[in-house]
RNA sequence: GUGGGUGUAGCUCAGUUGGUUAGAGCGUCGGUUUGUGGUACCGAAUGUCGCGGGUUCGAAUCCCGUCACUCACCCCA
């Protein structure tokens, strides 16, 4: 039996000091979003299951076996969102007039019932961007540049942008057909999985890791062979614009993305220092049906847990540091502690980060506590200070301590902070 | 969903071929003349040995189940 107090498999508490890293990443992300003029959208975590069923593709594993789906008491089929795009499309389709050219971003938890491993939780967090309306190749490039700007703002190095194109929706059936016809004669050289993929997901054969399959794939024509020249030109314009923006990338003709709604540009960002689950981010241009309308856009999702893992150790340390220094009030006796309560309120009213012991601990214990809480300064009062109307101001780093008049305290502190 | 590893005090772990009251370090708490942290010294507390069942005179140790963590496959962010 599991303890009731245990958290669910693959669902973890994000606690101090790590939570500070999250806050820093989020704060910096919001700044970048503002620069690119994207606005936040917060959609519900629970949606009708139908929001995902058709949009993600019926063969995708996410829909087939990873969704946290359940029936409400009213008999509705609902689920915890496994990704962010479909919910945003649901929102956009309901407000299409006002949102013809929406530039949106979201941050929040997503849920997939997979077996947890390094970089894979059942509740995980994505930062996503959806840019709706524009069908310009330059728009794809701007969104990719936005993503590069995020990574830069996070001091994230050792990442690689891999790009590819899937062509237009019209090209798609020709590509599948072309691939199948080239693979048919060599079916025997493929692994079991890939033989299945021949029927329901041919593109996936391209990124199979099986050595035998890799060999077969090397001999295949590039998928651009079956695309309309306009699709190829579209992709070339994306690349040219990226060059203009100064974004580094490599073109990977074998890159495939898992979800069905993608067309034209697709990309993935990988890191070389986070283990097998090395994709930090994936994105692309898409056309998705929602409420009977087709919405076109371009966007990406970033796995925040993976970003945290990919941060250099020094960066993590810097991002987890508390911004404001802490002051602790210490009182030698009851009278001093009561007086400190008043001071506590006053200092907080002026915006300082300050705390004191409320449990009647000894002065030594209070000092020890201040040390453990990494207080930058400690303000100490006892009988003699109360009589004299003064307070001891101790610098916990240098160990220096001086007595200042209560009237001068605020001025003294503002000089320090 | 498949496979491997792991689960002993708050943390990191030790625990000999199953054998008496289960250990260490760190941390926590208290003390070193009652008003001062981070160093030193002294002392103290803390474990249903993940959970349940089985084998045995006897299980932290062996077996089964289960839950969780972890890594890989798969999938994806």
Q: Which of A57-66, A190-199, A316-325 has the lowest mean pLDDT?
A: A57-66
CA distances from A156 to A109, A271, A299, A313, A414 (A): 22, 9, 20, 11, 35
Strand B contact at CB of residue A380, distance < 7 A: yes
Q: Which of A180-184, A291-295, A309-313, A340-344 has the lowest mean pLDDT?
A: A291-295
Rounded distance, CA A281 to CA A303, Å? Answer: 6
- Classified as helix, coil or strand, A353 is coil
Give the pLDDT confidence score for residue A399 in this predicted structure. 87
Tokens of A4: 């009731």
**Residue pair A275/A119 in contact by the 8 Å Cβ criterion:** yes
Q: How confident is the model at residue A1 (pLDDT cuts 50, 70, 90)?
A: very low
Kindly tell me if the per-residue pLDDT of A56 is higher than 80.
Answer: no
- Helix axis angle, A313-320 relative to A18-35, nearest 10°? 90
Kindly tell me if the per-residue pLDDT of A286 is higher than 50.
Answer: yes
CA(A1)–C1'(B19) in Å? 30
Strand B contact at CB of residue A115, distance < 7 A: yes
Considering all nucleic acid strands, name the nucleotide whose C1' atom is nearest to the C-alpha of residue A371.
B37
How far from chain centre, in Å, is Cα A174?
Answer: 35
Give the pLDDT confidence score for residue A54 in this predicted structure. 76
Q: Which of A125-129, A245-249, A398-402 has the lowest mean pLDDT?
A: A398-402
ipTM: 0.85
**Mean pLDDT, to the nearest integer, of A96-115?**
90
pLDDT above 90 as % of chain A: 61
Considering all nucleic acid strands, name the nucleotide whose C1' atom is nearest to the C-alpha of residue A384.
B35
Strand B contact at CB of residue A371, distance < 7 A: yes
Considering all nucleic acid strands, name the nucleotide whose C1' atom is nearest to the C-alpha of residue A362.
B35
Phi, then psi, of A246 in degrees rounded to 5 = 75, 30
Strand B contact at CB of residue A335, distance < 7 A: no
Indicate the average pLDDT of chain A.
90
Give the pLDDT confidence score for residue A2 in this predicted structure. 35
Angle at A100 between CA A94 and CA A103, to 5 degrees: 100
Provide DSSP, A126-190: EEEEEEES---HHHHHHHHHHHHHHHHHTT--SEEEEEEE---HHHHHHHHHHHHHHHGGGGGGS
**Residue pair A414/A364 in contact by the 8 Å Cβ criterion:** no
Give the pLDDT confidence score for residue A252 in this predicted structure. 94
pLDDT tens digits along A178-193: 999 999 898 888 888 8
Strand B contact at CB of residue A73, distance < 7 A: no
Strand B contact at CB of residue A200, distance < 7 A: no
CA(A23)–C1'(B33) in Å? 49
Angle at A330 between CA A324 and CA A334, to 5 degrees: 145
**Residue pair A65/A114 in contact by the 8 Å Cβ criterion:** no
Strand B contact at CB of residue A303, distance < 7 A: yes
pLDDT tens digits along A216-269: 898 899 999 999 999 999 999 999 999 999 999 999 999 988 777 899 999 999
Kindly tell me if the per-residue pLDDT of A98 is higher than 90.
Answer: no
- Classified as helix, coil or strand, A316 is helix
Residue ranges of domains in chain A, CATH in brackets: 18-168+227-318 (3.30.930.10), 327-416 (3.40.50.800)
CB contact set of A202 (below 8 Å; sequence gap of 6+): A176, A179, A180, A183
Considering all nucleic acid strands, name the nucleotide whose C1' atom is nearest to the C-alpha of residue A283.
B77
Q: How confident is the model at residue A291 (pLDDT cuts 50, 70, 90)?
A: confident
pLDDT above 70 as % of chain A: 98
Q: Is the model more confident about A104 or about A210? A: A104
Strand B contact at CB of residue A381, distance < 7 A: yes
Q: Which of A96-105, A136-145, A309-318, A322-331 has the lowest mean pLDDT?
A: A96-105
Give the pLDDT confidence score for residue A228 in this predicted structure. 95
- Classified as helix, coil or strand, A5 is coil
- Pairing between β-strand A327-331 and β-strand A377-381 as defined by DSSP bridges: parallel
Torsion of CA A312, A38, A168, A55, to 10 degrees: 90
**Element at A319 (helix H, strand E):** helix A313-320
Nucleotides of B under 7 A from a protein CB: 1-3, 28-31, 35-38, 50-52, 66-77
Rounded distance, CA A33 to CA A215, Å? Answer: 42
How much is the CA Rg of chain A, to the nearest whole Å?
28
Phi, then psi, of A208 in degrees rounded to 5 = -65, 140
- Per CA to C1' distance, which residue is closest to B76? A258
Give the pLDDT confidence score for residue A3 in this predicted structure. 45
């Amino acid at each position: 039996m599991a303890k009731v107090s245990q958290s669910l498999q693959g669902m973890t508490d994000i606690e101090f000091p790590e939570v500070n890293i999250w806050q820093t990443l989020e704060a910096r992300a919001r700044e970048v979003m503002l620069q690119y003029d994207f606005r936040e959208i917060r959609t519900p975590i629970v949606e009708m299951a139908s929001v995902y069923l058709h949009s993600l593709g019926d063969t995708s594993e996410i829909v087939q076996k990873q969704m946290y789906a359940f029936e409400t008491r009213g008999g509705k089929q609902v689920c915890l969102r496994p990704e962010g795009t479909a919910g945003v499309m649901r929102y956009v389709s309901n407000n299409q007039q006002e949102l013809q050219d929406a530039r949106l971003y979201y941050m929040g938890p997503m849920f997939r019932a997979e077996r947890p491993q390094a970089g894979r939780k059942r509740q995980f967090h994505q930062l996503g961007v959806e840019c709706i309306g524009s069908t310009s190749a330059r728009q794809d490039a701007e969104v990719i540049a936005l993503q590069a700007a995020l990574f830069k703002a996070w001091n994230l190095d050792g990442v690689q942008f891999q790009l590819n194109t899937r062509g237009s929706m019209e090209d798609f059936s020709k590509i599948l057909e072309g691939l199948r016809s080239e693979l048919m004669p060599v079916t025997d050289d493929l692994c079991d999985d890939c033989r299945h993929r021949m029927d329901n997901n041919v593109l996936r054969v391209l990124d199979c890791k099986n050595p035998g399959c890799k060999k077969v794939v090397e001999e295949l024509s590039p998928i651009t062979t079956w695309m309309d020249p306009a699709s190829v030109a579209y992709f070339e314009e994306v690349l040219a614009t990226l060059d203009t923006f100064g974004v580094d990338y490599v073109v990977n003709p074998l890159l495939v993305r898992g979800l069905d709604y993608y067309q034209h540009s697709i990309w993935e960002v990988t890191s070389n220092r986070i283990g097998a689950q090395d994709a930090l981010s994936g994105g692309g241009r898409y056309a998705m049906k929602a409420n009977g309308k087709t919405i076109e856009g371009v966007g990406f999702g970033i796995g925040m847990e993976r970003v945290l893992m990919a941060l250099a150790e020094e960066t993590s340390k810097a991002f987890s540091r508390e911004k404001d220094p802490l002051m602790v009030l210490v009182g030698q006796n009851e009278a001093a502690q009561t007086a400190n309560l008043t001071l506590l309120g006053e200092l907080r009213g002026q915006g300082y980060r300050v705390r004191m012991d409320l449990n009647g601990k000894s002065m030594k214990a209070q000092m020890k506590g201040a040390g453990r809480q990494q207080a930058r300064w400690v303000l100490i009062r006892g009988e003699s200070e109360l009589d004299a109307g003064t307070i001891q101001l101790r610098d916990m780093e240098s160990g220096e301590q001086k007595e200042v008049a209560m009237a001068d305290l605020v001025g003294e502190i503002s000089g320090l902070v």
